[in-house]
Copies of this chain bind each other. A is one copy, B any other.
Amino acid sequence: MPHTAVTIDDAFWAPRLRTNRADTLAHLYRELHRVGSIDAFRPNWQWPAEATQRGVWGGTPTMFWDSDVGKWLEAASYSLATHPDLQLDALLDQVIAIIGQAQHADGYLNTWFTSVDPQNRWKNLRDWHELYCAGHLMEAGVAHWEATGKRSLLDIVARYADHIADRFGTETEKLQGYCGHPEIELALVKLARATGEERYLELSRYFVEQRGQQPHFFDDEARARGDNPDDFWAKTYEYHQAHRPVREQDQVVGHAVRAMYLYCAMADLAGAYSDRSLLATCQRLWQHLTTTRMYVTAGIGTSKHNEGFTGDYDLPNESAYAETCAAIGLVFWAQRMLQLDCDRRYADIMELALYNSVLSSVTLDGQRFFYDNPLASNGQHHRQPWFACPCCPPNLARLFASLGQYIYAQSSNELVVHLYIAGAARTEVAGVPVVLHQQTNYPWDGTVTLRVESEGPATFGLRLRIPGWCSGAQVRVNGTAIDLEQSLEHGYVRIEREWQAGDTVVLDLPMPIETRHAHPDVVADVGQAALQRGPLIYCLEQADHDVPLHRIVLDDPAGLTAQAEADVLGGVTVLTGQAVALDTANWQGVLYRAEPPALQPCAIRAIPYFAWDNREAGPMRVWMPYRPQLGAPVDDLEAKRA
């Protein structure tokens, strides 16, 4: 369901989305303007010297400037669509006019390869993000047209897409290439939907199917440039998920954002072409990602080195990369998987990512951002207003500005609620205009009231997600309890009936404080636990504790209570209660000894992970040593010893 059909009117998201529209979009524009990304589209604009200085890999992040502008335009368009703003509308027209000046007669459009490096156009698809930039402009063109009905940017990007279709394909006179950074593939699907032009879908399919084929395009183009393919810095095309054809991939590898964008396109194409084998590939990759290579916050991508995946269960906390864009890409992919397969395993992760690894990336004022989202810190990691490679801030802005689209879904005779966020969805189902009102204090409270408002009775199925983290959920329709065991399909309760205006469904999703434990092969988390309540992962910050965090050991979570604190961190529910701490008494002048440190009771206070680093700097930890784990009874141990 498009975000334009949805209103969000709650205490949690609505203020953040307001900040996104009012402050983040303005901040992004200021920064893009300051560094030159927008002016770079003007003819004869002079690039600052530092913007063209290449790194050891032969490129510079300023090669991707067009994509940042594209993402900002997309975010601003989403905002315009729900919150008309004449000034913003005019600003977009102005920027689009500048972009239009940069388009070549043949449709080509890229600032770097127009004014800095024109001789190298389409010469290094592996590294230089040329099609990636095109993709982000296309997503912007579609969003702008949807928001305003204006074809200005849509026509520009469609002409560019036509140019690309002339240059790329399996025909011998064309380049058999594809982009090192997937993005254009999913953008072309959007362009095809917006324009009704099947050829853009075909071009997307070509890019996806060509990926990883032999002889390998990246090898060939490297040789054509006079480079040795073996000199590629990352040493493996797993980095781009181009190590083998996509249908043969069964492990999530390489750069995490690239992986997510590729899988999005694969899911889109699986749907568009009813391609069961491509869907099966997506399901296999989803399973691999979420059962071996994902942080408990839904952060993904362990390593800074490749901005991506390493090995199964390799999930160190303090050095976790967990890039913001990767978490956002995971939300994109989850939504697409949900459209193909309404299973809560996708929605659970979408929710987990939204409330934790995505939300952690921005301050409450919407103007400072994390690029990487570690699960522990010594106090040195802080959000920044901008980055040399500023991919994350505008990515977050476009996700927030279109958040409405992730909450509901519908088919001709069904309405689905994936997320619990107060507000309403206006749509037509089974031929009847329907407004579904949602009232809740989620994520702080698990009571959700849905009220149907329709012009006359309407017979349709209402599908409601029962989150995987929740036990003991109850659902009542006009006060009558539903038998959940009977009606649960892949984690959704489905209520099919003739709905009358005023019918209400009340979900009660209990939110006890629980510990989360990692698979025993997650070396970083052995003997440790994280705290979770509802969809939120919690963390401890030094700011709330006198005892150094590293000495604190979690005890039974039954000793903790949740309490809403309106004045803390913009209003959050904190978890407080008793834990234990290693005692330093009797350790004066002793570094090692035969007796373990004594444990003393210690009060703790956990805050939602997303809210960390908003007070004085200091250590933070999600995973803490967990006393009941190692103190728990050992199966058969006593018997076997005896």
Contacts and interface: CB of A to CB of B under 8 A. Distances in A.
Contacts of A548: 521
A462 interface: no
A279 interface: no
Contacts of A529: 596
Contact of A582 (B296, B526, B584, B592): B526
A631 B633 CA distance: 10
B637 A582 contact: no
A358 interface: no
State how many copies of this chain the complex holds. 2
Contact of A626 (B516, B578, B592, B596): B596
Contact of A294 (B550, B591, B635): B591
A276 interface: no
A175 B365 CA distance: 59
Contact of A521 (B559, B584, B625, B627): B584
B516 A598 contact: no
Contacts of A582: 520, 526
A625 B635 contact: no
Interface in A572-627: 578, 580, 582-584, 587, 589-601, 625-627
Given A291-B590, A592-B296, A597 B517 contact: yes
Contacts of A522: 591
Nearest to A631: B631
B519 A632 contact: no
Given A296-B592, A596-B629, A630-B553, A636 B601 contact: yes
A641 interface: yes
A551 interface: yes
A269 B84 CA distance: 82
A235 interface: no
B519 A590 contact: yes
A49 interface: no
A550 B596 CA distance: 20
Given A521-B548, A631-B627, A634-B599, A641 B578 contact: yes
B591 A625 contact: no
Interface string A520-546: 111100110110000000000000000
B631 A594 contact: no
Nearest to A549: B523
A551 B580 contact: no
Contacts of A155: none
A640 interface: yes
Given A291-B591, A294-B591, A527-B630, A635 B598 contact: yes
Contacts of A635: 583, 598-600
A631 B625 CA distance: 12
B596 A637 contact: no
A14 to B, nearest CB: 30
A514 interface: yes
Given A517-B592, A519-B584, A550-B526, A630 B625 contact: yes
Residue of A294, A584, A627 with highest tally of chain B CB at under 10 A: A627
A290 interface: yes
A125 B583 CA distance: 46
A601 B642 CA distance: 12
A290 to B, nearest CB: 7
Interface string A24-65: 000000000000000000000000000000000000000000
Contacts of A597: 517, 519-520, 629
A515 interface: yes
Nearest to A626: B596
B516 A594 contact: yes
A603 to B, nearest CB: 10
Contacts of A527: 527, 553, 625, 630
Contact of A630 (B514, B551, B583, B629): B629
A354 to B, nearest CB: 17
A599 to B, nearest CB: 5
Contacts of A626: 596, 630
A441 interface: no
A628 interface: yes
A601 B634 CA distance: 7
Nearest to A627: B630
A344 to B, nearest CB: 15
A232 to B, nearest CB: 23
Given A526-B625, A596-B529, A587 B631 contact: no
Nearest to A550: B523
Interface string A337-365: 00000000000000000000000000000
Given A520-B582, A521-B548, A637 B592 contact: no
B594 A514 contact: yes
A578 B638 CA distance: 11
A553 B600 CA distance: 22
Contact of A637 (B593, B601, B631, B641): B601
A626 to B, nearest CB: 7
10 contacts: A287-B589, A517-B595, A517-B596, A520-B551, A522-B591, A527-B630, A601-B640, A627-B630, A630-B630, A631-B631
Given A291-B589, A526-B550, A601-B640, 14 more contacts: A291-B591, A514-B594, A517-B593, A517-B594, A518-B592, A520-B584, A522-B591, A526-B551, A526-B553, A530-B592, A596-B628, A601-B636, A627-B631, A629-B630
Interface of A: 287, 290-292, 294, 296, 514-523, 526-527, 529-530, 548, 550-551, 553, 559, 578, 580, 582-584, 587, 589-601, 625-632, 634-637, 640-641
**CB-CB nearest 9 A-B residue pairs:** A631-B631, A520-B582, A596-B629, A630-B630, A523-B550, A517-B596, A599-B634, A627-B630, A520-B597
